[in-house]
Amino acid sequence: MLQQLEELKLNALQGLETVNNTKELESWRVYYLGKKGELTRILRSLATLPLAERKAVGAYANEVKTLLDDSLKQKSQTFREAQLAVSAKREAIDITLPGRPFPLGRLHPLTQTLYEICDIFVAMGFQVVEGPEVEWDYYNFEALNMPKEHPARDNMSTSWIDFEAENDERRMLLRTHTTSVSARIIETMQPPIRVIEPGKVYRYEASDATHTPMFCQIDGLVVDKGVTMADLKGTLYEFARRFFGRDKKVRFRCDYFPFVEPGVEMAIECLVCGGAGCRLCGDSGWIEILGAGMTHPQVLQRGGIDPEVYTSFAFGVGIDRLPMLRYGIDDIRLFYGSDLRFLRQF
Ligand code: DAH
């Protein structure tokens, strides 16, 4: 039996030499060390031996078993290491490769303009406030000195919200200007007031290169004791200088808006021709950019502010025209078309 064990040991070790992969190793294990394997068979038959012989053979058999177990472990360790080396090589990360670029979003050119204008006024002590786009007739017209039959209403083609209102003051509309927010502010805030009111406004109009049914405005309102036309001019001059540049000329002329008295329009020197006259400025050399004026006493009064104590100026700017002038964009619809080829340029 010792002879058998010796042969088994030699065969097994020799066999192990030729094992090339884990699958073969497993077959080898089953053949020699498995429950029905060669060594197990010999160990089982130990019981048939006389006691003295059984001890010696048994000891040797255990020795062989330990030897084979160890060899098996060693071999499978070698395989594991080899495999690890292979996968480490395959999965290696080249840290010298450049990263993949992230697509970066950006702010819409109108949003950029809006932020820029807000920053200019905030630096002058203004506070940014907002109001509803769906508005009462009252705040859009009535409170701003435009009663029902007022002709100025016709200049602001209105999108009405269609529902049965018992009286006209309860009618709703899409606000035609952000001046509606000023009407609300006069009612709710105590002077001193210094606010700007950015937002979307709506006109019932077809779109073309210079009109869209929705566009953006910023209104401004200042109410305090002793506010004069000089404050209005100083504030708006400063805005124009900061937005368009210190070297640009600015002009004020009389204009009419029902909610201010006197009313003015502000223009800047044409950015394209510098005042000489061109297609953009209609040969006048000037481009109108905003309306303004001293808030009408009746408007203050109606909102609960005493016009004998407080005076006020107001202004309203269309936002869309500003980047058009600055970048030479000739079609306002580009701002609302969501064409990334256009938007990515800003
Ligand atoms: N709301 C006017 C418009 O949309 C612009 C305007 C003019 C606003 C004079 C004002 C102002 O606050 O004082 O045409």
Residue to mutate, 139, 155, 158, 177, ligand 1, most ligand atoms under 8 Å from C-beta: 177
Cβ 258 under 6 angstroms from ligand 1: no
pTM metric for this prediction: 0.72
Give the residue ranges of the chain where pLDDT is below 50. Answer: none
Kindly state the tokens that stand for 278: 């061109």
Cβ 315 under 6 angstroms from ligand 1: yes
Which residue has the CA at smallest separation from atom 5 of ligand 1? 316
Which residue has the CA at smallest separation from atom 7 of ligand 1? 291
Residue 73: count of CB within 10 angstroms of its CB? 10
Distances (CA, A) of 10 to 6, 16, 74, 229: 6, 10, 17, 113
CA of 295 to the centre of ligand 1 (A): 10
Helix, strand, coil share of the chain (percent; to 5): 45, 20, 35
Residues with Cβ < 8 Å from 91, sequence gap 6 or more? Answer: none
Cα–Cα distance, 123 to 96 (Å, whole number): 46
Kindly state the tokens that stand for 182: 């000023």
> What pLDDT sits at residue 34?
87
DSSP reduced 3-state for 211: strand
Cβ 313 under 6 angstroms from ligand 1: no
pLDDT digits (tens, 9 = 90+) for 263-288: 999 999 988 888 888 887 888 999 99
Distances (CA, A) of 59 to 5, 43, 272: 11, 10, 107
| CATH number corresponding to 109-343 | 3.30.930.10
pLDDT digits (tens, 9 = 90+) for 192-236: 999 999 999 999 999 988 889 999 999 999 999 999 999 999 999
Closest CA to 261 of 219, 299, 224, 234: 299
